[in-house]
Amino acid sequence: MKTILESINGECNRRDFLKLSAGAVSMLSFASLQLPAFAKSPVAPTKLSLQECMSMSPIAMAEKSPYIKPAYEFLLKTAGEIQNPELRRTTCEILKNPAPRLLELYPDTTAKETVKQRLVAAGYLKANAALDEFLPPCSDPGQTVIPFFAAPGSGYGSHHSYPGGLATHVAVNVQASIGFFHAYKETYACPLNRDIIIAAQSLHDLHKPWVFQWQENGAARTEYPIAGTGSHHILSIAELIHRKLPSELIVAMACAHNHPGTDADESEVVGWISAASILAQQNPVKLGLLAPDGKTLPLPRRAEGFITHLGDHDWVLSVPAAKWMIAKLEEIAQKEFNMTSADLKTKKFYALRNYVFSQATLEQLYLLWTAEGETALTNTVKSIVTL
């Protein structure tokens, strides 16, 4: 069976994408994610035994999901709409291989210790941080630790925390960003840069595969904070700086976690760019990432950053949905799969959780539960995994 990457090889080539489209170029802006129908029950995935789930890797689970591949294909096709050839090529390249090339700057412990001390001195990192906490392990800076399509969308207790969750999370956010782009462009006739909006949102979580690595027990690696936010955000910004991507893209992407609309909010974004610049060993003012005084974003503040921030709000629903659905699946695991409370912190439950959530998606299961109740949810889980 072809892997996801093999089956969509070439999806980012703009000419190939246009051949697939029956509409004119202008219709590409309305591209939408086509997922299998989700009516009274999800698309039926391959039913496995709990034992089979326990012997399956998170990457294999993502490969098997009927929902992850369409989400990932959507991201590649939408990136293929970027008009600027170099930005299109780089965005697609990173989606296919979000390698932590930033680590080229840190080949040994001495280099890592030096940057740690700079971050600590600037107040962006705690002094007791271990080197592999803020710079996660990776054997080859040229290769992603796990594929983008197989990574979780956040920490293991938060949103989209299942194999392939990153692809579904970013797909929703890209669609939202394109929607905001059209709303502002058509209402106010704003000369917005669609390329920047698509690339910023597509790449805003590019280092979650590096940060949230799957562990042997099936859970994801715990994230360490840098500059008051999750390290994946700082590392992603630093990666784009290291790769010398356009300053307007980097600033827009940095705004994903907050907007520059107030002094307090903007100071957070400035701090993130500053911390990322330390990691990338670059001067943010000279690169045009900050204003000449280093205290604000470049003036006037571009609207693309606000739209990227607005688009990155899938978490408003998906964070509480994850909290409630994980708890509900724990109840089902104990009642229907004879698990103990102790089992819920082991590979046995994590395998069940990863397979069920990746095959039907945590979010759709939550919506099913809210619409049809616990019996429908329990029956759906049992239709995916059996004892």
**Residue 237 predicted with pLDDT over 70:** yes
pLDDT in tens, 210-225: 999 999 999 999 999 9
Question: Judging by beta carbons within 10 Å of its beta carbon (0-12, 13-18, 19+), is residue 265 exposed, middle or buried?
Answer: middle
**Residue 246 predicted with pLDDT over 60:** yes
Residue with tokens 């840069």: 193
pLDDT in tens, 163-184: 999 999 999 999 999 999 999 9
Mean local confidence (pLDDT), 142-162 = 97
Per the structure block, which two tokens stand in for 300? 């006037």
pLDDT, position 45: 81
Which of the residue ranges 11-25, 58-72, 331-345 would you say has the lowest mean pLDDT?
Answer: 11-25
**Residue 346 predicted with pLDDT over 70:** yes
Question: Judging by beta carbons within 10 Å of its beta carbon (0-12, 13-18, 19+), is residue 324 exposed, middle or buried?
Answer: middle
pLDDT in tens, 187-208: 999 899 999 999 999 999 999 9
Label residue 12 by pLDDT band (50, 70, 90). Answer: low
- Angle, in degrees to the nearest 10, between helices 347-360 and 362-372: 80
What span, in angstroms and rounded, lies between the C-alpha atoms of 146 and 49?
25
For residue 32, give the DSSP letter.
Answer: -
What span, in angstroms and rounded, lies between the C-alpha atoms of 225 and 129?
10
pLDDT in tens, 249-294: 999 999 999 999 999 999 999 999 999 999 999 999 999 999 999 9
Q: Residue 261: count other Cβ atoms within 10 Å of its Cβ.
A: 13
Mean local confidence (pLDDT), 310-321 = 96
pLDDT, position 8: 59
Residues 6+ apart with CB under 8 A from 323: 157
Strand boundaries in the chain, DSSP class E: 48-49, 225-226, 229-230, 385-386
Q: Residue 18: count other Cβ atoms within 10 Å of its Cβ.
A: 14
What span, in angstroms and rounded, lies between the C-alpha atoms of 69 and 150?
10
CB 4 within 8 A of CB 149: yes
The three-point CA angle 190-315-157 to 5° equals 155
pLDDT in tens, 153-166: 999 999 999 999 99
Mean local confidence (pLDDT), 304-324 = 97
**Residue 38 predicted with pLDDT over 80:** no
What is the distance of C-alpha 365 from the center of its chain? Answer: 20
Which of the residue ranges 39-43, 155-159, 353-357, 379-383 would you say has the lowest mean pLDDT?
Answer: 39-43
pLDDT, position 308: 98
**Residue 11 predicted with pLDDT over 80:** no
> Which residues on neighbouring strands pair with residue 386, listed in sequence order?
49
Per the structure block, which two tokens stand in for 55? 């012997």
Share of the chain above pLDDT 90, in %: 87
Residue with tokens 């994980």: 326
Label residue 7 by pLDDT band (50, 70, 90). Answer: low
